[in-house]
Structure 1
């Protein structure tokens, strides 16, 4: 009997020694290890045990943590993730590489990659969780993704086994894929191929650990692309991952790849960009490439930490402040503005700055890519001058009406236009036009459409409805998807009759003398959309003192909530209102940096 008791005592001592040994080993491992009792539905009930690493990482004492519900620590806010994990555990009883988010005592999030296994003891079920802290990696990954998402080029990041890690937003849009559809696949699988390309460059890049650029034709995309492969190396020279950048070779190079490790690696990558690139944090330049130093004529050490406002002209500071505030608050991507800029020797150049919201070292930041567009601006300015020279400055029917126009492009070249034709001394036809697109292409479309309008009028078509329908048929046939918005009107001074037909520009303002403004609607789709489009017509009889206002959608704010403008229009002459509107739009440019859209108006007052 005594021997039995001694045997039991010896066994208990062995168990205590065994538990002591495993606890000692457990507390020495670098992972977070804890055991949770779970219900039959694999729902966490309470903590059973954990190592010291868990306590130190979460900021709790052992006595505190043992009393806390697991749901207060396991931050599974996404119910779909929670269901997925628990379903997998129920089926497999082991789940590898599950990402968990733990919440510490001070409400900080700790990201962990975990192995979870289910075991039973004394008719109870338990979950053993062995987790590795990947918080720093997740922050760096988010920073890299944020910076890459600010780049308009297609960026693809590959693991060392050539599988895809992730694309930037331009990449997902370019391939029309989601992150779930591409992650872990080989690059050629994204193109629906079964094997790698014959001219694949990955093996060469891995062998040489050097950047490689080449031009490639991708038949699946029917594009010639400039492709750059960049190996990203760790401190000891090992290959971390490969970043691939694709761009249509008709575009200029803007940015190369940006890595995730450190400030120096960021700089190494953006130094390969052909344009000046800076990262702005709290209005200070936190990072810049060599091109930025050359542009600002400043040494790198002097540029870093300097206030970004002091590098721009005084007249832009108010607008810059508003732009920066909006980009940060609304997390905007690719906001583009143009500025005049002084370089060494007091030489004035034109620059275009593309701003994008990013995360940089855990802070909200702005990525600014600055491009010298002086030569392009010079060419565009010539085109704009040519466009302005074709604008009508003298209007017909001066015995019957006074006519004033407002014309202010959102950019240098406008997609708006107007023309009033004199059919005879008692009859005129007018068109106000807004073509799709901006810049040179819009200007070319305007010129082409102006010729079409002239041909219609010259053929003897003087009814607005007939003109609009004929133009629609021509645009459907020749313009493909270059839709055009117009408002066509005629004025017969013998009968004092105004006819207005709308096609995309569907409203105008009419004011009887001494009365309030009336908004008139003329429904009709854009020209060029459908063969059988229907258009509406308004007929109005006018008399001395009446006013009519035709305008493009850049001036829609007149119709909305700005009662001050409408009150001013009621008593002002069209000449006074033109000057008021010109000043109003100029102030808007100074305040915001640019107009949202081209602004064009033709105002008529009956004598």
Structure 2
């Protein structure tokens, strides 16, 4: 019997005091901001310590307030607190919504409210947990403003810009319409492959655009495409960088149309090849062997021969600053200046002095390294002056090659530059080798006197660090 009585006591309902003690322990010690609200009128029945600390009200002050007092009594499009806590006037599970509250200090904050029904001591209440989301809202606002600035910025960009992820276009600026030949709204949600065909059809670099995996750094590729609807060919320079767009890992692609630039480069290459295909002006006086290998598409190296008479030739070998089209333009300008400098005299040192003056006047900081030489086959004398390319090789017939050094700074560097000139008598069987800096990076002095076939074979298996130009003149 004692045992049965003990079991019945254990199963007996807790007393009101026990309920209040249990409720108070959980409620008061909860670090979450918690309010108890009367669903009949919205009055605040109770507030825990976290709520008092957060809002700055004492408990007795809280109990004089309505829940709507915390938001200034304002209602928004979604209705009042009770409308959202008790949709339809009935309990329908937990509800979550946002409001704009004011603290006792007058500070305004954004809050996220979680509500649920609770019955305590025979009284129905709306159990209300409040989270301060002010910082989150500020962050979201900054993000929205940042995205708006991003959109404004990219719309002003003169290049086509896409945001691309997993094979799908998520964003396109106004400039893409000209490239794709379609309004940008019709690009969204589609793939680049819907509009362009690759040429060539396989490209490991282009596969980067089709999958996000493994792309952590920016990249840049050049690719030729054919636009599907009109078969127009485009050469594109594509710069890609991983970005987060709308909370999604994406690629931002800047597509620059370089079709015209590529055509100009190809014309410049053909022009360079034509100019460097020339032979020695006095073919009966010397045999010319030459190597001309650009490190890139266009070379900054050049050489020029000018026939003065039936027994005299003036020449120059050099390297202009810069690469590509700018280097090609500088070479064209230099050819004109070189011909004009012939009026200053025929001695190499006089040519370089006049070219230095013209380079300072017209070339800015585009310095020119060069070596100018003059062959007089009547007298059997070679004269050379240097401006940055300060050595060449002389190999007497049947003898060992000798490196000849001549001092002189690059053209256009200093207004008062002085240039040395050296004179070497020659006869049939002697050989002179003039070369640009790129050759010095690959060959020793002894090798630079070797035959054309040897040099060509070694260059073919090398990675060029600079343009390579080599001229060999065998006196006959």
CA distance in 1: counterparts of 2:445 and 2:201, whole angstroms: 35
Does residue 559 in structure 1 map to residue 460 in structure 2?
A: no
Partner of 1:448: 333
Partner of 2:312: 427
Q: Is the 8 A contact 2:344 2:354 kept in 1?
A: no
Does residue 295 in structure 1 map to residue 212 in structure 2?
A: no
Partner of 1:478: 362
Does residue 377 in structure 1 map to residue 294 in structure 2?
A: no
Deviation at 1:472, TM superposition (A): 1.0
Q: Pick closer, same or farther for the CA change 1:348–1:20 going to 2, 3 Å.
A: closer
Q: Secondary structure at the match of 1:489?
A: strand
Q: Is the 8 A contact 1:547 1:603 kept in 2?
A: yes
Q: Secondary structure at the match of 1:428?
A: strand
Q: Is the 8 A contact 1:502 1:522 kept in 2?
A: yes
Partner of 1:463: 347
Q: Secondary structure at the match of 1:462?
A: coil
Unpaired segments ≥5 residues, structure 2: 1-22, 35-132, 181-187, 208-213
Does residue 268 in structure 1 map to residue 171 in structure 2?
A: yes
**TM alignment of 1:154-553, pairs within 5 A:** 231=148, 243-245=152-154, 253-256=158-161, 267-269=170-172, 273=176, 290-296=191-197, 312=200, 335=220, 337=222, 349=233, 351-356=235-240, 358=242, 373-391=258-276, 393-409=278-294, 413-457=298-342, 459=343, 461-494=345-378, 496-511=380-395, 520-542=404-426, 544-553=428-437
Q: Pick closer, same or farther for the CA change 1:288–1:396 going to 2, 3 Å.
A: farther
Deviation at 1:533, TM superposition (A): 1.9
CA distance in 2: counterparts of 1:406 and 1:291, whole angstroms: 43
CA distance in 1: counterparts of 2:398 and 2:29, whole angstroms: 93
Normalised to the residue count of structure 2, the TM-score between the two structures is 0.54
Q: Secondary structure at the match of 1:268?
A: strand
Unpaired segments ≥5 residues, structure 1: 1-16, 29-131, 142-157, 166-229, 233-240, 277-286, 298-310, 322-327, 589-594
CA distance in 2: counterparts of 1:449 and 1:526, whole angstroms: 13
CA distance in 1: counterparts of 2:365 and 2:472, whole angstroms: 30
Partner of 1:600: 469
Cα offsets for 1:553-607 (capped at 9, x unmatched): 4xx2x323x46x8776554x33x2575477558xx6xxxxxx7654433232334
Q: Pick closer, same or farther for the CA change 1:371–1:486 going to 2, 3 Å.
A: same
Deviation at 1:511, TM superposition (A): 4.5
CA distance in 1: counterparts of 2:216 and 2:445, whole angstroms: 31
Q: Is the 8 A contact 1:506 1:521 kept in 2?
A: yes
Normalised to the residue count of structure 1, the TM-score between the two structures is 0.44
Instruction: Determine which structure has more spread, i.e. the larger CA radius of gyration.
Output: 2
Deviation at 1:429, TM superposition (A): 1.6
Cα offsets for 1:407-462 (capped at 9, x unmatched): 344555544321112233443221123333344444333223212211222x2611
Partner of 2:130: none
CA distance in 2: counterparts of 1:375 and 1:411, whole angstroms: 18
Q: Pick closer, same or farther for the CA change 1:567–1:508 going to 2, 3 Å.
A: closer
Partner of 1:76: none
2:31 paired residue among 25, 35, 44: 25
Deviation at 1:469, TM superposition (A): 0.8
Q: Pick closer, same or farther for the CA change 1:263–1:24 going to 2, 3 Å.
A: farther
Q: Pick closer, same or farther for the CA change 1:265–1:353 going to 2, 3 Å.
A: closer
Deviation at 1:26, TM superposition (A): 6.5
Q: Is the 8 A contact 2:373 2:382 kept in 1?
A: yes
Q: Pick closer, same or farther for the CA change 1:442–1:264 going to 2, 3 Å.
A: closer
Query: RMSD between aligned alpha carbons?
Result: 5.5
CA distance in 2: counterparts of 1:474 and 1:484, whole angstroms: 11
CA distance in 2: counterparts of 1:541 and 1:244, whole angstroms: 67
Partner of 2:9: none
Q: Pick closer, same or farther for the CA change 1:363–1:497 going to 2, 3 Å.
A: farther
Q: Secondary structure at the match of 1:445?
A: helix
Deviation at 1:489, TM superposition (A): 1.6
Q: Pick closer, same or farther for the CA change 1:569–1:598 going to 2, 3 Å.
A: closer
Q: Is the 8 A contact 2:240 2:252 kept in 1?
A: yes
Task: Name which of structure 1's ranges 287-296 and 381-390 shifts more when overlaid on structure 2.
Answer: 287-296
Deviation at 1:352, TM superposition (A): 3.8
Q: Is the 8 A contact 2:162 2:253 kept in 1?
A: no
Deviation at 1:539, TM superposition (A): 4.3
Q: Is the 8 A contact 1:349 1:372 kept in 2?
A: no
Q: Is the 8 A contact 1:464 1:489 kept in 2?
A: yes
Q: Is the 8 A contact 1:481 1:528 kept in 2?
A: yes
